Structure 1
Amino acid sequence: MASSSHRRRTRPERRGPRTAAISVGAVAAVALVVSLVVAFRPDGGTAAAAGADKVRPVAGAEASVSPTATDPSSSSPSPSPSSSAPKPSPSTSTKRPSATPTRASARPAATTAARKPSSTGSLAGRIAPGRTYTGVATSYDVGNGDGACSYGPTSDVMTAAMNTADYETSKACGAYVSVTSGGKSITVRITNECPAPCQAGQLDLSRQAFAKLAPLSAGRIPISWSLLSPATSDTISIRYKTGSTQYWCGIQAIGHRNPLARLEVRTGSGWVALPRTEYNYFLSEQGTGCGGAIRLTDIYGEQLTVEGIAVRADAVQPTKVQFAKR
């Protein structure tokens, strides 16, 4: 019996392996069921594994994530940080228009050297093209033809002196005007100023010019007059005033077809407009631009550049340029 009892104690040791085998079998059965379930999913086991890779967070992944094609805010994916020349998406370009076209249309570009000439005379002062002025005409003895405009002696007798208001600090100098009275018309060039008591609209004609409209004995006659842009074969000349040097100079333009609105000299920093005197010279008090390039602008906005005019006082130096006929 003792040995039999001893044998019963050893039997549970023999049942241990059987129990382990049963456990292993159960686990294998469960694994088989799980495998069958996974196998019958629509995307299969491989897709499941791939999906697990997609949702696994990676360091830096958030900074490089591109929007998918289903993102309504963008019709194309954004570039990755490694792109050397990123392009804006179409949604960005339509929502935020560039301001460059607005600035370009508001302001023209700084490299444009000359404005397009205007046909309306936008730079004109009191005497503007396309207008008719009324007043009276008187006459005076022009002598040698010199006057306030400082053009010097001339044999041209078809000239006139402009009243102070319309003379406008010599802005009328060189202007051609058509004068009409009593059905007769003449053309005269402004070379002088008629001070008070001459009134706005009044012209003091040379005696020769007055006589073509009425007898000198008439004294005063009603007139109408308007600006002209006459036909001419002459070109513009430049003259430096007496005493001009490279350190101080006065510059005058002679023979321009249309009234002169501005005279500029070229410097290292660009064009500089010189002030105009009542005796029709443009002064450079500090010598700025004396002997350099000169730019002339008429009342229509046309610009002519004159090169190679040396500082030679009192010398009339011809150019090869002339303003266009209007």
Structure 2
Amino acid sequence: MSRPTHETHGAYAPPVPVRELIAHSADGARLHVEVHGPEGAPVVVLAHGWTCSTAFWAAQIRDLAVDHRVVAYDQRGHGRSPAGDACSTETLADDLEAVLAATLGPGEKAVLAGHSMGGMTLMAASARPRFREHAAAALLCSTGSTRLVEESLVLPWRAGRLRTRVTAAVLSSRAPLGPVTPVTRRILKYATMGPGSSPVMVDACARIVHACPRTVRHAWSVVLSTLDLDAGVRELRVPTAVISGTADRMTPVVHARALVAALPNCVGSTELPGLGHMTPVEAPELVTARIRELVTTYVRGAGAAVKAAAEGAEIPETAEIKEGA
């Protein structure tokens, strides 16, 4: 599958990876994986959302890769990852495990960040052995665990069966999105971004979303429409932070609040006034800063403490070992 043209468009193009590889999932699906940044640096793994690609994380990759090893991959059917034979929450978990196996050494820890369907990926994989082996902490951006269609505010109607049915039909449409135009930019901005989003941000997101094949968009919409990952949230035991936008129509802030209440080890929730669903693009510095905080606290800090303990040295107060690290 050729690289979508949006990934080299304008200032939002992500940096060239240090290494590219293919991870093979449990059912044989091939996943395009990119590794950025220096070897030996603390690791961050990024999982993008529905209809997106690695390009969605361009701002985070550019910043973090200076002093982190950043792993980003295309979910199956997205970007340069072929569709494979199945779409389900199980395959989301399988795919993440395959990426972790292909990029991290035995016992190597990382901060895992997921946006939208990427956050659902972390929930789906939370009880998997490889997830627990490698996850030091997690960041959930603009995501939810269940009732996605019922709670969606894309249609400004009163909640009820009619809104749910029509929302499901809109989100699962097989219609091609066509080229990016001023009209489609306005539609995408309304549905997925806050009113203050800049034209550059809107254009970047539009190009990413429009590059997703309509068959893939439809297949994953069916999975999302019946999503129930509440059990996965309860199994997400590593320190987990939550970010949401108060103007998010796709996964309204009610989802973030439910996650905060259900997570066994929530280490903070940030609600961003006036921002929509695309928080890593709309608030890139804040999302990156939160990832850095998690790395500092649960990867660098824990690593220093473990090393000191192994050497019989006194553990410094700043190197506290956090539960789940």
Q: TM-score, normalised by structure 1?
A: 0.23
Q: Determine which structure has more spread, i.e. the larger CA radius of gyration.
A: 1
Specify which structure has the bigger relative contact order, considering alpha-carbon pairs within 8 angstroms and separated by 6 or more residues.
2
TM-score under structure 2 length normalisation: 0.23
Structure (1/2) with the larger helix percentage: 2
Greater share of residues in strand: 1
